[in-house]
Amino acid sequence: MHVGDYVTTGTNAISIVPLPNVYLTANFKETQLSRMREGQAVTITVDSLPGETFHGKVSRLSPASGSQFALLPADNATGNFTKVVQRVPVRIDFNPPEVFAHLRAGMSAVVSVSVAPAGR
Domains of the chain by residue range: 23-69+83-113
Say which CATH superfamily domain 23-69+83-113 falls into: Efflux pump adaptor protein, beta barrel domain (2.40.30.170)
- Residue-level pLDDT, tens digit, the chain, 120 residues: 677 888 888 787 777 766 667 788 898 998 898 899 999 999 999 888 888 889 999 998 877 776 666 666 666 666 666 777 788 889 998 887 566 677 787 889 999 999 877 555
Dist CA 48 CA 64 (whole Å): 30
Q: Are 17 and 94 in contact (CB under 8 A)?
A: no
The pLDDT score that the predictor gives to residue 110 is 93
The pLDDT score that the predictor gives to residue 62 is 79
On the 0-12 / 13-18 / 19+ scale of CB atoms within 10 A, 28 is middle
Answer whether 0.85 is exceeded by the pTM. Answer: no
The pLDDT score that the predictor gives to residue 116 is 79
Ranges of H-type helices in 26-94: none
The pLDDT score that the predictor gives to residue 98 is 62
